[in-house]
Each structure stands twice: as C-alpha cells, then as structure tokens.
Amino acid sequence: MTLYIVATPIGNLDDITLRAIETLKKVDLIAAEDTRHSGLLLQHFGIKAKLFALHDHNEQDRAQQLIDKLKSGLSIALISDAGTPLINDPGYHLVKACRENDIKVVPIPGACAAIAALCVAGLPSDKFSYEGFLPAKAKARQDYLTSLIDQTHTMIFYESTHRLIDTLQDMQTIFGADRQVVLAKELTKTWETIVSYPVSELIQWLQTDTARQKGEFVLIVEGKAKTDNEIDAKAISTLKLLLKSLPLKQAAALTAEIYGLKKNQLYQLGLTFEKTN
Ligand code: SAM
C-alpha cells in the first residue's frame, strides 16, 4: 500500500522520467485530474492502467475512497494534467490523509513549471516564494500584491492568458515600473519564449503583438531591491556590540566587512549612536 506522487511533463513528452514510466506501469490504479487527458499521455507511453478521477472539487470525498483502496493493499499513483501534483493541482487532502493513516507516500519528481522558469530567469534563486495564481478579482489581487511590497526575495506566479495584462499593470502600480519581471511562456513547447524586462516594458512588449499574450505563463518577479542605505537589524546590533569595546572607526570597518556594507555608512550611523548616548 503505497501512494506515488508522479510528476508528468509540462509540454514536451520527452520530459517524463524513467521512474515515472516504470511506476505508472506497475501501480494498480492511477488517480488523475482529467482521466481523458491523462489517458492520452498513458497511451503515448504504452501504459495500460485503471484511471480514477480526482478533481479539486471532489478530492476530499474521493480521497477517502483511495485511502480504503490503499489500505486494502493496492498501490496507487497520483498524476495531474501537467507537471507536479499538488503544485496548483489536487493531491494535498489525499497526501495528508495518507500521512494520518500511516500510508507510505513516495515522490517521483519531475517537471514543474515554476522551477523550470526560475532556473532560466536570471533572478536570484537562493531565496524565493511560490505564490501560485493571484486572486481573480482586482481588489483582492491588488491587496495581495500590496502585502508583497517589501519582499526582497524572488517571487513566482502562475498566470492565465486573460488576466496577464491586468496582473502586470497591478504589479507596475504596486511594485513600480522598473521592477524586473521574467515572463516564461509555453515552457518546453514549440513556442517556448522567455523574456526579461522592467514591468512597464514587458506590458508594452505584450501589447505590441497580442499573439504574445496567448499560452501558459509563469512570471518570475524580482524582489524589492535593498537600497544602499538600508542596513539590516543584525548589522546594527553587531555595530552596537563592537562599539562597547572598539573605537567607532574599527567597529564600523569590521561590521562593514561582516555584512558586505559600506564602511562610511556604518561610521555615520555609529556617530548617531554616540550622539544619543
Ligand atoms: N502542477 C503544475 C506544475 O507543476 O507546474 C501547475 C499546474 S497549474 C493548474 C497550470 C499553470 O501552470 C498554467 O496556467 C501556467 O501558469 C503554469 N504552466 C504549466 N505548464 C506550463 C508551461 N509549459 N509553460 C509555462 N507555464 C506553465
């Protein structure tokens, strides 16, 4: 009784993994979002398997049926229409229920549009947040983007053709016209396009040719730039600590070296501490 979470391609069928094929061939049942769509994928790889529909709207009810099947000894694979299940796709309730029932869950990793786009974006990838789809209603979308205004790490969004321009216009208003955005379109498919522009120029680029607005999109958005005169709290407390036993010039130099900041900036900050003491 094992549940396998199996990633499938996001466009190019050659991106299926050997383990995915092997797993899909051996399981007793494949739970899929759209059984007709997945039927075609399985047919392409010569996989004959029983399919079981698991959609977002019926997942909680259907999950219990799958738990019963797993408990009876069946092995099951979960796939979604494309990419990694649970990433903006069904599966969370099922995996949670498996964990609660001590049923083994095994990942079979593979394609994921968010990660594929991030790796080619040329924006910092050491820290990032996956934001998925923004709310459809303008006010909720603007409120959510406003809550991200101070994020300094890279942000990943999924977006659909018909909301792309509205979303970018909201980003322009809230994050500023110069914020860099990488648009990754139709990844792994024939019309794969990856462009990087300040958000205002990206909107112009899309409006120049409406065909550019069609397809599947990931938006990778640069985080807020740390301004030169922004010194984080840790650097400030280090400077204060060093000042207890060192002259300001030395304390500022050491803090600058530790945090990669400008010596003079810390020196000026230290002077303000001395004035207030
Ligand atoms: N589970 C999928 C994954 O692992 O990426 C995501 C499923 S979500 C319902 C579908 C959205 O993912 C699309 O609207 C688009 O934003 C993004 N997406 C999926 N395939 C893509 C592709 N080939 N190129 C660009 N974006 C893609």
Residue to probe by mutation, ligand 1, list 5, 10, 160, most atoms within 8 Å of CB? 10
Alpha carbon of 12 to ligand 1 centroid (Å): 13
Alpha carbon of 250 to ligand 1 centroid (Å): 52
Kindly state if the Cβ of 220 falls inside 6 Å of ligand 1. Answer: no
Same domain, 102 and 151: no
Which residue, judged by its Cα, is nearest atom 16 of ligand 1? 158
Domain assignment present for 227: no
Model pLDDT, residue 228:
54
Kindly state if the Cβ of 112 falls inside 6 Å of ligand 1. Answer: yes
Backbone dihedral region for residue 85 (phi beyond 0: left; psi -120 to 50: alpha; all else: beta): beta
Model pLDDT, residue 266:
87
Same domain, 21 and 87: yes
In this structure, the strands spanning 180-185 and 193-198 are: antiparallel
Q: What is the CATH number of the domain that holds 207?
A: 3.30.950.10
Q: What is the CATH number of the domain that holds 60?
A: 3.40.1010.10
Kindly state if the Cβ of 188 falls inside 6 Å of ligand 1. Answer: yes
Model pLDDT, residue 248:
94
Per-position pLDDT tens, the chain of length 277: 999 999 999 999 999 999 999 999 999 999 999 989 999 999 999 999 899 999 888 888 899 999 999 999 999 999 999 999 999 999 999 999 999 999 999 999 999 999 999 999 999 999 999 999 999 999 999 999 999 998 999 999 999 999 999 999 999 999 999 999 999 999 999 999 999 999 999 999 999 999 999 999 999 999 998 765 567 778 888 998 999 999 999 999 999 999 888 898 888 888 877 655 5
Sole residue written with tokens 């958000």: 199
Question: And the tokens for 65?
Answer: 């049926």
Distance set, CA 106 to CA 2, 58, 273 (Å): 7, 23, 55
Same domain, 207 and 246: no
Kindly state if the Cβ of 113 falls inside 6 Å of ligand 1. Answer: yes
Model pLDDT, residue 277:
54
Kindly state if the Cβ of 78 falls inside 6 Å of ligand 1. Answer: no
Kindly state if the Cβ of 90 falls inside 6 Å of ligand 1. Answer: no
Contact predicate 16/110, CB 8 Å: yes
**Where does a domain end: 111, 126, 157?**
111
Boundaries of domain holding 149: 114-221
Same domain, 52 and 93: yes
Domain assignment present for 268: yes
Model pLDDT, residue 269:
83
Domain assignment present for 187: yes
Same domain, 166 and 215: yes
Kindly state if the Cβ of 167 falls inside 6 Å of ligand 1. Answer: no
CA–centroid distance for 34 within its chain:
23
Contact predicate 113/103, CB 8 Å: no
pTM: 0.84
Give the 3-state secondary structure of residue 183: strand
Alpha carbon of 113 to ligand 1 centroid (Å): 5
Distance set, CA 155 to CA 37, 130, 145, 181 (Å): 30, 6, 11, 10
Sole residue written with tokens 């599966």: 91
When divided into structural domains, the chain yields a total of 3
Alpha carbon of 216 to ligand 1 centroid (Å): 6
- Which pairs from 145-152 meet CB under 8 Å and 24+ separation? 145/170, 145/171, 145/174, 145/175, 146/174, 149/174, 149/175, 149/224, 150/224, 151/223, 151/224, 152/223, 152/224, 152/225, 152/226
Alpha carbon of 185 to ligand 1 centroid (Å): 10
Domain assignment present for 83: yes
Question: And the tokens for 239?
Answer: 């400077």
